[in-house]
Structure 1
Amino acid sequence: MRLTFLHDPRGGESLTLIRRADGAEFTLFSYSRKHRVPHDLAHAVTERELRMPDGIFGCIAAGAVFDSMEQTAGKKRHDAKVRSARILKAPNSIGMSEALSSVFHLAVEKDQPTPYAEVREMWGVTRADPCPYADVDLDRTTETLRELSHRWQASSDPLDFPWPESLQAEASQHGPKIRVRTGRRDR
């Protein structure tokens, strides 16, 4: 999947063009908050750098479609709505992605250092297990977002953002198991 962040000509924050591996292309309309750093860019950086395969963009890569997305090219899958619903109903990290990306977003927006304590606190609000991210992961996420934010602000050119093929929600595990009747026993 490939993401391209564009400055919204309507005066909003940004638009994200999404080109999925299956050939479908979408425009993701940002919820404009007039930040220097686009909210969706903060999500993409957080999910990619922290290797979250089932955050917002990993779910999109697997076939999820959100209400804020519009398909602009490519063939629509016959089961697009069902597949999307299955992916989004499955356990995923969308909530955690929202929480963590907001922490990184705020730190970069306010030119603050890596938010180590805030990330670990946010993790602990929703999870009982220890935060799995080392300081080096948090530094990399903050610095990547900071660097891309500077590029975004310095130019009106589109910002290309490659998405790793490995970061994709598991679509196959989200549906009901299908049983095949063979006459002898169910498999």
Structure 2
Amino acid sequence: MLVFFHPRPGGGTRAVLHRDDGVTLEMHSYDRKWRVPHDLAHAVAERELGLSGGVFGCIAGGALFASVRVIDGRARYDAAEHGRRVIACHEREIAIAEMLSGAVHGAVEQGRAGAFSAARAGWESVREDPFPYTEMDIQRATSTLTRLADAFAHLPRGTGLRFEWPRRLTAAAAPKGRSQGRPGRRRAR
């Protein structure tokens, strides 16, 4: 999936997502108070930490969230049902992605150290298994977000920041008839 992040006049971000199935989506973010776009922080943290069932992996897999709408292409005949199954299958991982991207976003936005500690503490508040990331994993995510946030801040007028979402991090839907699956986590290699 190819994503372009565009600054919106008056603040906020507009992302245009070109899914592999030929559908083009638009996602609006209302993050006017932040220098670093919240949705960009999500995309970076989820990609760098290998989360296939986060927000962007779910969108790549066919889910639509409230801030996302189809602007071009033809969605599959059962798009609404399929999207609900994708989200249902990955609800826990979406919450984890929110927490991890928040830790990375906070570190970059506020220029503070401690993203690893914040991410690990957040993980321990929602999961019982050991924190699966190293300090280098979190540092890679914060470094990438720092670089892309700077590029976003200096975009020429009328252009968007190009961001590639890897196909291997596309969320799968729960099989029909199954409302909840066991969310899996695939690490980037």
Q: Deviations over 1:99-129 (max 9, x none)?
A: 1111111110111235111110010010001
Partner residue, 2:2: 2
- Letter of the 1:17 partner, please give it: V
Partner residue, 1:185: none
Q: Name the CA distance, whole Å, in 2 between partners of 1:114 and 1:27.
A: 33
Tell me if the contact between 1:124 and 1:131 (Cα under 8 Å) persists in the aligned partners.
yes
- Letter of the 1:49 partner, please give it: E
Q: Name the CA distance, whole Å, in 2 between partners of 1:39 and 1:6.
A: 12
TM-score of the two chains, using structure 1 as the length reference: 0.89
SS at match of 1:29: strand
Tell me if the contact between 1:46 and 1:104 (Cα under 8 Å) persists in the aligned partners.
yes
Percent identity among equivalent residues? Answer: 39
SS at match of 1:166: helix
| Structure 1 unaligned blocks of 5 or more | 178-187
Kindly state the Cα deviation for residue 24 of structure 1 after the two structures are TM-superposed: 0.3
- Letter of the 1:167 partner, please give it: L
> Which one has a bigger Cα radius of gyration?
1
Aligned pair count reads 175
Partner residue, 2:121: 121
Q: Which stretch has the larger CA shift, 43-52 or 92-101?
A: 92-101
Partner residue, 1:140: 140
| Structure 2 unaligned blocks of 5 or more | 179-189
TM-score of the two chains, using structure 2 as the length reference: 0.88
Which of structure 1's runs of 4+ aligned residues deviate more than 4 A? none
Tell me if the contact between 2:58 and 2:170 (Cα under 8 Å) persists in the aligned partners.
yes
Q: Name the CA distance, whole Å, in 2 between partners of 1:56 and 1:96.
A: 10
Q: Name the CA distance, whole Å, in 1 between partners of 2:114 and 2:165.
A: 23
Name which structure has the greater RCO, CA cutoff 8 Å, separation 6+: 2
Q: CA RMSD in A?
A: 1.3
Q: Is the counterpart of residue 15 in structure 1 residue 14 in structure 2?
A: yes
